[in-house]
Amino acid sequence: MVRSTMASTYGNTGSAQEQANQATLKREEEIRALMDEIIGTYSPGGSFGAGTEAMIDRQKTKAIGQGTQSLISSGLYGSTMTAGLGTAFEEDVAMPTRLKLEDLRTQKYSDALGQKAGFVERIEDQSPSYETMANLYSQASSAPQESLSDWLGKTFSVQGNPNQGAIDSENRRKAEEEAARNQKARDYAANLR
């Protein structure tokens, strides 16, 4: 009886483990896809910084327009200063902004790659402890034909309920407290006489 129960348990554990492994693989694939999307955002040519580039282009157009207007007002529009407006904007505003953006993109890209590497490194195959199952099966197969609860009780020193040891301990503590209270009451009663 114990042997057939253990064999059934062994088979059920394998099936449950397979379902758990499939769910874990599905979550792993979802996380990998999300990480790949993040890495793609920060990779060279990714979408990170596209808004900043658009803002730089708008600001450049605006700065050149304002600079040109200023040169016209001062009568220097036809001079070589007009040609230098775009270059001045690139050197003073666009280039430092792009360098900071590239530093940030590189840092985020590196962080995302590191996080993915850490995730992959922490992946462990989950499997039942076949050693424990084999030991239990071995013990069960060598046991005389008895009920599973009797065998579990003998094997784990617990009769029937897996929490019985804790229950017995709690009951023992309560009985000791009750005995101590009764002894105090007897002592008190003896002192009154």
Amino acid at residue number 43: S
DSSP label at 47?
S
Q: Where are the domains of the chain?
A: 2-162
The string of pLDDT tens digits covering residues 116-163 is 998 888 887 666 666 766 776 676 666 556 666 665 666 655 444 455
Give the end-to-end CA distance of the chain in Å, rounded to a whole number: 64
Q: Report the C-alpha gap between 33 and 31 in whole angstroms.
A: 5
**pLDDT at residue 98 tops 60:** yes
Q: Is the pLDDT of residue 11 over 60?
A: no
The pTM (predicted TM-score) of the whole model is 0.51
Burial of 152 (0-12, 13-18, 19+ CB in 10 A): buried
DSSP for 89-120, please give it: HIIIIIHHHHHHHHHHHHHHHHHHHHHHHHHH
HSE on the CB side for 10, CA within 13 Å? 16
